[in-house]
Structure 1
Amino acid sequence: MKALLYKDIIVLKNNLVAISMISFFLIIAIISGNVDISYLIASFGLIILFIKIFESDYKNGFYKYVISNAVEEKSIVTYKYLFILSAAILVFLFNFLLAFVTGYDKTFYRFLVFLSINIFLYEILIPIFFRFGKIAIDIVNVVGTVVYITGVFYIVKNDTFLKFEIGNKLNIFVILIIIDLILFVFSFLLSLKFIRRKIS
């Protein structure tokens, strides 16, 4: 898995300008009090970077290369999920901590909502990327941009996206966690099936 991580780090290094711009706008959004927009920027930015990683995999024939060097398909899929979900948790946790320190958001509410929604989204997208490759990546680029712009306009118009606190809505997160866990099993198994089909 070290080789897989090293490859993805190289891809991210090649996109330092994009990472810097996303980080800049995220921090500006938080310190200006637009916490919902900052989480939306983080969501959109992560999807862009993950798409860049998948694009690099297909462009360079990476999966066939690593498997020809005795790396199992299961290791590749396991790594992908660990990398993407860990990166999402770290980015949203940073977002929450910055919002907490600046005093604009003192609850876990936005962190939990955006994280659970993003995990749900990645669990859908990862097997789709493994199955359809470049076509799926191009479609997600277009759809993601439209959703992002729509979300920004909605937040600006309504001044906020999430209007209730976590205390009286804890059941929502229990349901989201259960859905994420169930979907994860199906998502992982589908990804494993699709990558084997791609390579065979």
Structure 2
Amino acid sequence: MSIDVLLTGFAPFDGADVNESWLAVREAAPALRAAEITTRELELPVEFGRAGAELLHAAREHAPQLIVAVGLAAGRRAVTPERVAINIRDARIPDAAGASPVDEPVVPGGPVGYFSTLPIKAMTEALATQGLPAAVSQSAGTYVCNDVFYLLAHALATDPQLAQARGGFVHVPAADVAPPAAVARGLVAAIRTALESPEDLVVTGGAEH
């Protein structure tokens, strides 16, 4: 039986006790279910390759309409739906398994990048309606968040089993910028908007740098 939404966050890493992405996802999922949006939540390890594999296993098992992966970007000052995933692994710090790939492809021979298939501008506006700082992001980095995003986007583009799904990535800031409870409310609004919006808004979301 298919579901409406697969929603993922990450486990703590780099010595942290919590990961705000998972705190927000854990609170958003029951709120979505309360709104009669069938939802599965999944906590991913901060590990190259493994995190994306676990997400895709869940996606193939549950056949969601929408897949939204959420990760922490501690230095950002807004909740940021990501525009593009790129085919590179370049780790500034080791992942949770100790891997530190440098200039390796996520998928050997895969395209340079993929655009999100989520309505990122409509989602950004929905986040802002909840009083959250929000903006479209042009880069998901080169760490595990981008790795998951690229593996998801590649599967959506190449796997007939996932042909009906749309998906992408949202970065959330640390709790001192936006508390996880507030981010959860924003995710609920953004996901509801995505489910209702087969096409994105034609509004600016660009950046000069």
Task: Using structure 1 for the length normalisation, give the TM-score.
Answer: 0.34
Which structure has the bigger radius of gyration? 1
Which structure has the highest helix share of the two?
A: 1
